[in-house]
Chain A
Amino acid sequence: MSQAVIAVNNLNKTVPTAAGDLIILDDVNLEVEKGEAVAIVGSSGSGKTTLLGILAGLDSATSGSVRLMEAQLSDMDEEERAIARGKYTGFIFQSFQLLMSLTARENVMLPAELRGDEQAESQALELLEKVGLDSRLNHYPNQLSGGEQQRVAIARAFASRPEIMFADEPTGNLDTKTGSLVTELLFDLNREFGTTLVLVTHDAGLASRCDRTISIASGRVVL
């Protein structure tokens, strides 16, 4: 029996425009195995971010099927997809996406609080210690450097105990040195928690750290 945590069959995504339907993804088929680290690469406008969004249940496909763990995302509405996201996924973004009005600790507590988990705070403290920010618990994002903000974002992503971690250009906003440190942290935690990793990147170095690379060009998977 397949160990695939993500299975995509005949996935298509089109958007209507004034000039007719624009094809973003064209008949994409792929599988990601449990514990695997996969990099999605491609030029700007190739459709890689859209693919990541659909795999993570942030967006819906026009046709085709997408399975995420036991969740058949392509048959779900937004309410059900949100529950699936909360249950299976974590996210790391290029622009960190921290809530500026909450402290580092409160940002990391968010996923557990949304689930109604009473252990939200102790879990957040543990994770912030793992990313080396136990001394900056009560700092607001604008009081942290870019690298520190991304570490808070990583801690928050792992706070939901995800099966699959999605990352969109996680080092894109960081300098080379900080980017390397963040990459190390991401892969270390990925190993520690046994998480499957799917990331989109332009960074060849980062892509080479992954087990497999999927290239996208003009909405199609290039073999």
Chain B
Amino acid sequence: MNWRLVSRLAWRDLRSGEIALLIVALMVAVGTVTSISLFVDRLKQALILESATFLAADRQISGSREIPREFLDQARLMDLETAETLVFPSMVFSGDRNQLVSVKAVDSFYPLRGELIAGDQPFQRGFVAQTVPQPGFVWLDARLFPSLGVQIGDEVEVGLATLKVSKVLVSEPDRGGSFFDLGPRLLMNVLDVPATEVVQPGSRLSYRLLLKGDEADLEQLKENLELKPNYRWVSVKESSPRIGSALDRAESFLLLGGLLAVLLAGVAVALSANRYARRHMDHVGVLKTLGATPKQIWVGFLNILLFVGLISVLLGLFFGVSLHILIVELLASLIPVELPAPGARPLVLGAITGLICALSFAMPAFIHLRNISPMRVLRRDLDISPASRLLSYGAAILGSLTLLVWYTESLFLTFWSLLGIVSVLVFFGLVAVVLLRGTGIAGMQAKSGWRLALAGLQRRKNENIAQMLIFGLAIMLLLVLVLIRTSLIAEWEAQVPKDAPNHFLMNINANEVESIGQLIRTRASKANEIYPMIRGRVNQVNEVEAKEWQKNLERPYEGVRISSERNLTWLERLPENNEIVSGEWWNPQSTESLVSLEEEYANDLGLSLGDRIVFDIGGKLVETKVASIRRLEWESMSPNFFIIFSPASLSDFSATYMTSFFLEKEDKRFLNDILSQHPTTTVIEIDALIEQVQKIVGQVTQAVELVMFLVLFSGCLVLLASIQASRDTRIAELALVRALGGTKKLIGGSLFVEFLLLGTMAGVVAVVGAEMTVALLQAQIFDLSFNLHPWLWLLGPVAGGLIITLVGYFGSRGLLDAPPMNVLRGA
């Protein structure tokens, strides 16, 4: 076929509306993916940027030794922005008062991400500081003003240097991280550090090189630098397991949402392409009798498909961009972060999705046309050979797989999603057959309108089973989304409750435990147990030197460092939010020296039950045996310990104690009371950190709701497409019923009942499928426990009946209004 003929056929199909459904379906596929991808991409970028404020940078290199100049030079050579910080504990003096603080010395480029908030008066709202403290000046946490008895303009001594207090430090972006980053802060200029003379051999120092720049450059730098074993590369996920865990789950969910939308769109494309092809079988028969070869038919319709695809992709991209702008505009007040400009990737993703959808979902229907027998012009009952149907399903499956793997970038997620869908389809098929048989029996007793509807269901048995699969699948996907969303948000909210402990109190002496416990119980809420705490490091494992043990590991420096000094505790009972995954918790009366390890810590260091570990605690060696491995809920915000000893192990050591509690913002002055009565204790405020975690959870929740809305939208379009696919058969049936004297009311009523029954039955099977899929997803991806959802068994059928009746009735309205002659002519 020449191009003129092809373009004429395509244009006429377009004008007559023959191809409109296919274009709308492809447009929806492209538009949905583009809008989801644009929004998610921008939100993810924003979340990453927001999360990057926890590091005050995109990446950090940290170490206990000074960062080599060579690292800095390489980073600058790659056009990365850099800043340097040094954190160390020190006593600060003001007259006769003193306080242990966490000093942070920064250069003038700090921070690279996030904002430094300073104020002119303690305990007041601050403003964004444009500079860091100038040399000779320090900024103090509000709480240090009363405890040191100083005011703005007074002087404090840090080591040998005397520095002037110029501002109140309200917040700094990278206050997360380890406990020792979280003490009452004193911020000073790094140029003043030499004058303090506190940096001596053996001092506990944490040097950091902050990096900001292009993702690829950062990864390249990581590869170029020889970091191991003295320096650590830190990204947001590694720096804070809580944030990492939240981001991972968000990513899984958003990917799943995108994936569902694509599957729905693919079904819509296949349905409308099949309808288009079916309506063109006679055309092909005629063209073949006129001498068109199968190759000409194939090339001609391929060109039509490409023409349609091009129009759809352009419209889809426009639709996707508009929809995404609308969403961003509508939610502007709800999205607390500024979204970065979108990249080209979502547009490319949308366009390629359109192409893949056209090729894998629509193309097989077009390939079929090539095989239409020219005898069809004489005998219209001739259909397509089963072999080419096999090809079409194969292509659709291949296309779906390509899209699934491409979107999820995870064979695991693809595998489980597919397994869920295939199991559900097989199951749906069986249930649909049983339900349809039931309607056959009921139809014998039913009255006229009902009988017509039930007979309709029976007459198109195969078609109805297929439609029930499609409707059921669409409803199931929506229910899965609702269930997963509900479980996910409920779990997040449960794990970061509003009154989660937001302050840690450390360095409590044994003789202060009782009075401090009393004070906290009366003035604060959600007080935790008071835990003993002692510092120590691993010295030997199974008679092998600790450093040697780490070297012998498969991936020696991927995880934690075995010889780092850590906080150790000893407890009689297993703390809340801890779960034993192997071994047993000890008997409180046990005299054996036992230890319980956190799961990831044990895995990273190749430690297992029964291993004998020697700890160096203040120069004294303590030999223990690993009795259990625990799993921690990092989101719980409670004091979490990698290593817990049995009480008998450390009974000879004197320890300091720590606890956590919840305090409202307006009750902050309570901290001063504690510190004035117990000046040697240290308060760590993590309320800002919790606030940030909650903010991220909030944003992710909104993104999830939006994805659900988009999936719901494309689900409804699939329903409409599948109703349109059966439109021609229905026209023929209505013509017959009307010819036999059926009234418009009777036909309307029977259509209503037919859709209601179809929807309700699809709803029933959807619920079963949703429960099955959710059980799998919860177990395999989200790590949640399985439970049935009784309310779903009502919601599914009701929603199915309602949606399909509404959409079906709306889609069939034109048939009822058409004059009988038009109906007879099949117009």
Contact = CB atoms under 8 A, between A and B. Distances in A.
Contacts of B5: 110, 113-114
A52 interface: yes
A79 B377 contact: no
25 contacts: A53-B374, A53-B375, A53-B378, A58-B288, A58-B374, A58-B375, A58-B377, A59-B374, A82-B292, A82-B296, A85-B374, A87-B291, A91-B290, A97-B286, A97-B377, A98-B286, A99-B283, A99-B286, A100-B16, A102-B8, A110-B290, A111-B291, A113-B2, A114-B291, A160-B291
Contact of A91 (B9, B18, B283, B377): B377
Contact of B290 (A78, A100, A106, A160): A160
Shortest beta-carbon contacts, A-B, top 8: A86-B291, A101-B12, A82-B293, A58-B374, A91-B289, A59-B375, A97-B286, A111-B290
Contacts of B286: 97-99
Interface in B271-322: 282-283, 285-296
A40 to B, nearest CB: 12
Interface residues of B, number: 32
A62 interface: no
A93 B376 CA distance: 11
Given A59-B373, A99-B286, A102-B8, A85 B16 contact: no
Contacts of B745: none
Contacts of B1: 113-114
A85 B378 contact: no
A85 B290 CA distance: 7
A116 interface: yes
Given A58-B377, A59-B375, A102-B9, 11 more contacts: A59-B374, A79-B293, A79-B294, A85-B289, A91-B289, A93-B377, A97-B282, A102-B8, A102-B12, A111-B290, A114-B290
A138 interface: no
B4 interface: yes
B434 interface: no
Nearest to A84: B291
B715 to A, nearest CB: 31
A101 B9 contact: yes
Contacts of A79: 293-295
Interface string B360-391: 00000000000001110111000000000000
Contacts of B825: 142
Contact of A113 (B4, B373, B374, B375): B4
B378 A114 contact: no
Interface in B3-39: 4-5, 8-9, 12-13, 16, 18
Nearest to A93: B377
A97 B290 CA distance: 11
Interface string A153-192: 0001000100000001000000000000000000000000
A153 B646 CA distance: 97
Interface string A181-207: 000000000000000000000000000
B34 to A, nearest CB: 31
Among B2, B13, B293, B295: residue with most chain A CB under 10 A: B293
Interface in A94-140: 97-102, 106, 110-111, 113-116
Given A102-B8, A113-B2, A113-B5, A58 B290 contact: no
Contacts of A53: 374-375, 378-379
A49 interface: yes
A89 B288 CA distance: 11
Given A78-B294, A101-B9, A101-B13, A52 B289 contact: no
A91 B377 CA distance: 10
Contacts of B8: 102, 106
Contact of B291 (A59, A85, A100): A85
A58 B373 contact: yes
A86 B295 CA distance: 14
A93 B290 contact: no
B827 interface: yes
A144 interface: no
A58 B346 CA distance: 49
Contacts of B296: 82, 114
B282 to A, nearest CB: 7
A47 to B, nearest CB: 12
Nearest to A102: B12
Contact of A93 (B12, B283, B295, B378): B378
B291 A58 contact: no
A52 B825 CA distance: 28
A46 B87 CA distance: 99
A60 to B, nearest CB: 10
A23 interface: no
A86 B16 contact: no
A83 interface: yes
Nearest to B13: A101
Contacts of B283: 99
Interface in A54-78: 56, 58-59, 78
Interface string B142-158: 00000000000000000
Nearest to B370: A78
B812 to A, nearest CB: 22
B378 A52 contact: yes
Contacts of A142: 825, 827
A150 B46 CA distance: 67
A83 B293 contact: yes
Contact of A86 (B9, B290, B378): B290
Contacts of A52: 378
A100 B9 CA distance: 10
Nearest to A113: B5
Nearest to A109: B5
Nearest to B825: A142
A98 B287 CA distance: 10
A103 B289 CA distance: 19
A49 B378 contact: yes
Contacts of A91: 289-290, 377
Contacts of B293: 78-79, 82-83
A82 B16 contact: no
A113 B296 CA distance: 12
A55 B788 CA distance: 66
A197 to B, nearest CB: 16
A135 to B, nearest CB: 22
A91 B285 CA distance: 12
Nearest to B285: A97
B292 A86 contact: yes
Nearest to A100: B16
A106 B223 CA distance: 66
Select the residue from A53, A78, A82, A106 with max chain B CB neighbours within 10 A. A82
Considering residues B291, B295, B374, B379, which has the most beta carbons from chain A within 10 angstroms of its beta carbon? B291
B806 to A, nearest CB: 32
B287 A114 contact: yes
A83 B293 CA distance: 7
Contacts of B373: 58-59
Contacts of B18: 101
A56 B291 CA distance: 11
B378 A82 contact: no
A89 B290 CA distance: 8
Interface string A15-55: 00000000000000000000000000000000001001100
A49 B290 contact: no
A1 B9 CA distance: 45
A88 B18 CA distance: 33
A116 to B, nearest CB: 6
A110 B4 contact: no
A116 B296 CA distance: 12
B177 to A, nearest CB: 68
Contacts of B285: 97
Contact of B287 (A58, A93, A110): A110
Nearest to A53: B375
A89 B374 CA distance: 13
A115 B292 CA distance: 8
A148 to B, nearest CB: 16
Contacts of A93: 377-378
